[in-house]
Amino acid sequence: MKKPIGLLTMIVFVVVAAGCQGAAKTTTSPTSAAASTVAATAAPSAEPVTVKVLDAITEKADTDAVNQIVQLFETAHPDIKIERTSVTGKDLDAMAMTTLSSSDGPDIIARNPGPGFAGVMARAGLLLPLDDYWKKYNWDDRIYPIAKTQGTIGGKIYGIPTELEFIGVFYNKTLFDKLGLAIPKTYQDLIDICQKATAGGYIPMAFGNKDQWPADVQYAQTISNMIGRDGLDNILHGDGRWDTPESVKAIQIPFVDMNKAGCYQADPNAVSWDDANTLFYSQKALMVPTGTWLIGDINTNVKDFEPGFFFYPSLPGGKGQYPAAGLGGGYWVSAKSQHPDQAAAWLDFYFSPEAAKIWMETSSKIQPVKVDSSGFKLNTLFKFAVNALQTQSDQMGYNIDPLLPANFNQLELDGFQAVILGQKTPEQMAKDLEKAWEDALAKGDAVK
Amino acid sequence: MEQRHRASAPFPEANGMAVAASRAGRTSAGHWIEKRKTGLLFILPALIVYAIFFVKPFLTSIYYSLTSWNGFDPVKKFVGLANYEQLFHDPLVWLSLSHNLIWIAIGTFAPIIIGLPLAVMLTNIKRGRLLFQTAYFLPYVLSGVLIGVIWGWIYNPVFGVLNHILHSVGLGGLARGWLGDPDLALYAVLVAAIWGYFGFCVVIFMAGLQNINLELIEAAKIDGANSVQRFFYIIIPQMRNVLNVVIVYNLIGGFNVFDIIRVMTVGGPANQTEVIATYNYSVSFQQNNIGYGTTLSMVMTILSLVVSYFYITLRDKQEPGE
């Protein structure tokens, strides 16, 4: 038995030794490493610094826009290279904690602002405060105050939210004209449109909630219309509650009454958001309730009819029309970044008027940057939306999701589906939302 | 032997017996290792990999399950068994587990019930066998995500082919939003999963059928057994070992199912297709609750082990000679 043992020992030793040799070959030998270090210090390095950015930019129009911005930035800053990695938003949520904790993680990460998203990362010390850079680059002069507010966590500025979005209804102007319909000013007008559309053989409103989040968007809109911005501020920062009669109505109207009135295609919980949009693009549905993030897609897919946009009408017993608005994403610098100055330089360019112009012209997205868009080449739908925003800017609600804790958001995802199915009443859902909010406040996941 | 006794003489009398026992233990352990050194050396690399990629993460997971941690904070707050206590009172855990049990019950046996007769039929044909075998196996090559996307289109209530077929054959009353129906969604996803998996069973069973004793089948034919009787009384008993492997494999898979549900329904509508893995994902990554999410993982692991253990024990009891 000694011979095989001896032979095996030799084999294991050789394999391990070969592995070590292999590893050694991937690194420079000590003498050549010293030589290269000397050579490096002797002359200035020509290698640009690479800033790694992890984002969720996957749509074609958005990718085109950001690639243009990267190209312009790198031309203006030949010493900095931007290396982007794009994943879906859901994948980014799953990756965020591990990638930021890694020593080889991104310098800049994209995430929604709010306590359940960037707030968690900031409280864990994973993000770099940007207050000094904010002063250095004078961002107060060009970035909207709302972006600064939402990028501020615990009194420090950690990031800059991107993409001002607001919620409304896209509609098929061509079919509206054909059916003799007008933009609804009241809830009853909207119900009448639903009935006429059904009589004409169309789906009134494409509402696909298989992915769960579209219902959150609907609720953000109806709660904004019911209680206005002051009412939302009172809940988020005062002693307001989520289980008031107005909040119950904000759940009842879109998920019970409009569903029963036949405003949606059958089985909203069985239709995905993409498929609902397809119903709109293919002119099977007259309207699709969603946010301005869809404008780029509409421009790409709609060729056979004229699309339009209107704000959700006022609701019975509500405060009026308060289009839900908010900032849909954000860029945050990792506390472990080895190149914070270069990362800040990228942010400075990303939130410049030059970049904002590219976003608006290429992707129909509004960055929170003060810019005169009158000379920009904007498509008709986007121009309309921007004008509508400007006329309504004093009376807007909130797109509440990014402002709320994770447990509240999760309850919305599951709970609104249950309301649509009739498994949960609007009253019960409103009570559950209030409980989730109180639990989050008690745990410190939300702060008033 | 005498020399070894003389060598132990200098030790003090008071400790003689303890030392002798200790030396005997060490000698026994050393002897044990010496006898098995070759085998141990063979498995050492795999053991090291196993320790790094399974044992350490498993032990770390047990620790995380005793903490309240959001995955970001550098400090993990030790909470003892609080997560386990929460688990027992969490209605979504019991709902998810019930869905896992349904998935296991149907998902374990349906592919076998479909795959084994198909394998027997394919074994008995010469022409076209490879073509059919390939066609049945092709869905298994697809990822769970792709299967979910394809079947999502099939089930689409507006333009899905299933509802179109039902309407065209006069069964329009059965057409519905399959993935939005709380009573049917889980079974709809199961059908997609079974479609993606039964081909694997066909191939495995066809391999197992190569070892069937044909003389027993001939003898059964002579004795007048028909094909159904031969299938149940000759073929299935001889396929026992293969069946056991497939069943255990399916049982464990039933507790771990995730991707196809995540793609097709995200656990909805209203948690009606939620299973432990999808609930774990939502708790861990969407609600930033790694501590509780790890507790759910422990549940999945323990249940997989317990069910597999009970099944293997039961199988061994039924086969006392093996």
pLDDT digits (tens, 9 = 90+) for A219-276: 999 999 999 999 999 999 899 999 999 999 999 999 999 999 999 999 999 999 999 9
Predicted confidence (pLDDT) at residue B316 exceeds the cutoff of 90:
no
Of A1, A270, A279, the CB nearest to B180: A270
More confident residue, A201 or A390: A201
Of A126, A410, A417, the CB nearest to B282: A410
Contacts of A424 in chain B (CB under 8 A): 270
- Interface mutation target, options A269, A282, A288, chain B, most CBs of B under 10 Å: A269
**Chain A residue with Cα closest to B185:** A270
pLDDT digits (tens, 9 = 90+) for B237-294: 888 889 988 888 888 888 889 999 999 999 999 999 999 999 999 999 889 899 999 9
Say which residues have a Cβ less than 8 Å from residue B128's Cβ, sequence separation at least 6: none
Confidence (pLDDT) at B318? 63
Structure tokens at B191: 């059908």
Cα–Cα distance measured from residue A437 to residue A247, given in angstroms and rounded to the nearest whole number = 14
Length of chain A: 448
Q: Average of pLDDT values for B192-206?
A: 94
Contacts of B287 in chain A (CB under 8 A): 406-407, 410
**Angle subtended at Cα B70 by Cα A347 and Cα A341, rounded to the nearest 5 degrees:** 20
Say which residues have a Cβ less than 8 Å from residue A448's Cβ, sequence separation at least 6: A236, A237, A238, A441
CB contact under 8 A, B70 and A120: yes
Residue A220 C-alpha, separation from nearest chain B C-alpha, in angstroms: 19
Of B152, B177, B269, the CB nearest to A266: B177
Confidence (pLDDT) at A27? 33
Cα–Cα distance measured from residue B195 to residue B209, given in angstroms and rounded to the nearest whole number = 22
pTM: 0.81
Of B158, B266, B270, the CB nearest to A279: B158
Contacts of B38 in chain A (CB under 8 A): 1, 4-5, 8
Stretch (H or E) spanning A83: strand A80-86
Of A1, A97, A424, the CB nearest to B71: A97
String of b and e for B116-142 (b: at least 16 CB within 10 Å)? bebbbebbeeeeeeeeebeebbebbee
- Interface mutation target, options A267, A334, A410, A435, chain B, most CBs of B under 10 Å: A267
Tell me if A115 sits within 8 A of A404, measured CB to CB. Answer: yes
Tell me if A447 sits within 8 A of A115, measured CB to CB. Answer: yes
Cα–Cα distance measured from residue A307 to residue A172, given in angstroms and rounded to the nearest whole number = 5
**Angle subtended at Cα A277 by Cα A176 and Cα A254, rounded to the nearest 5 degrees:** 75
More confident residue, A9 or B207: B207
User: Bridge partners of A159?
Assistant: A332
| DSSP-derived pairing of the beta strands B67-68 and A324-333 | unpaired
Predicted confidence (pLDDT) at residue B174 exceeds the cutoff of 70:
yes
> What is the band of A21 on the pLDDT scale with cuts at 50, 70, 90?
very low
Separation in Å, CA B44 to CA A9, A144, A349, B47, B51: 12, 62, 55, 5, 10
**Chain B residue with Cα closest to A119:** B72
Cα–Cα distance measured from residue A250 to residue A247, given in angstroms and rounded to the nearest whole number = 5
CB contact under 8 A, B41 and A267: no
Say which residues have a Cβ less than 8 Å from residue A322's Cβ, sequence separation at least 6: A224, A225, A228, A229, A395, A396, A397
pLDDT digits (tens, 9 = 90+) for A283-303: 999 999 999 989 988 988 999
Mean pLDDT of chain A: 87
CB contact under 8 A, A271 and B157: yes
Contacts of B74 in chain A (CB under 8 A): 124-125
Residue B11, SS3?
Answer: coil
CB contact under 8 A, A269 and B157: no
Q: Average of pLDDT values for B170-182?
A: 95
Cα–Cα distance measured from residue A401 to residue A219, given in angstroms and rounded to the nearest whole number = 10
- Interface mutation target, options B47, B72, B155, B274, chain A, most CBs of A under 10 Å: B72
**Chain A residue with Cα closest to B75:** A124
Range B282-289, long-range pairs (CB < 8 A, 24+ positions): B282/A410, B284/B71, B285/A93, B285/A94, B286/A93, B286/A406, B286/A409, B286/A410, B287/A406, B287/A407, B287/A410, B288/A97, B288/A116, B288/A120, B288/A406, B288/A445, B288/B70, B288/B71, B288/B72, B289/B70
- From the number of C-beta atoms within 10 Å of its C-beta (0-12, 13-18, 19+), residue B79 rates as middle
Confidence (pLDDT) at A391? 74
Residue B162 C-alpha, separation from nearest chain A C-alpha, in angstroms: 14
Contacts of B270 in chain A (CB under 8 A): 269, 414-415, 417-418, 421, 423-424
> What is the band of B320 on the pLDDT scale with cuts at 50, 70, 90?
low
Residues of B with CB under 8 A from a CB of A: 37-38, 41-42, 44-45, 70-74, 152, 155-159, 176-182, 265-271, 281-282, 285-288, 290
Give the Cβ contact number of residue A81 at 10 Å: 16
pLDDT digits (tens, 9 = 90+) for B220-234: 889 998 988 988 888
CB contact under 8 A, A266 and B157: yes
Give the Cβ contact number of residue B152 at 10 Å: 24
Cα–Cα distance measured from residue A418 to residue A259, given in angstroms and rounded to the nearest whole number = 13
Say which residues have a Cβ less than 8 Å from residue A406's Cβ, sequence separation at least 6: A115, A116, A120, A440, A445, B286, B287, B288
pLDDT digits (tens, 9 = 90+) for B46-99: 999 999 999 999 999 999 999 999 888 888 999 999 999 999 999 999 999 999
From the DSSP assignment, how many helices (H) and strands (E) are in chain A? 19, 11
Predicted confidence (pLDDT) at residue A305 exceeds the cutoff of 50:
yes
Cα–Cα distance measured from residue A301 to residue A372, given in angstroms and rounded to the nearest whole number = 28
Residue B168 C-alpha, separation from nearest chain A C-alpha, in angstroms: 19
pLDDT digits (tens, 9 = 90+) for A76-89: 999 999 999 999 88
- Interface mutation target, options A13, A283, A414, chain B, most CBs of B under 10 Å: A414
Tell me if A109 sits within 8 A of A94, measured CB to CB. Answer: no
Of A211, A268, A417, the CB nearest to B270: A417
Of A281, A295, A237, A289, give the one whose Cα is nearest residue A258.
A289
Cα–Cα distance measured from residue A315 to residue A308, given in angstroms and rounded to the nearest whole number = 21
Contacts of A5 in chain B (CB under 8 A): 37-38, 41
Provide the number of CB pairs (under 8 Å) joining chain A to chain B: 112
Tell me if A190 sits within 8 A of A257, measured CB to CB. Answer: no
- Residue carrying the six token digits 């386990």: B84
Q: Give the alpha-carbon dihedral of A161, A162, A163, A168, to 10 degrees.
A: -20
Orientation of helix A406-421 relative to helix A213-237, angle to 10°: 130
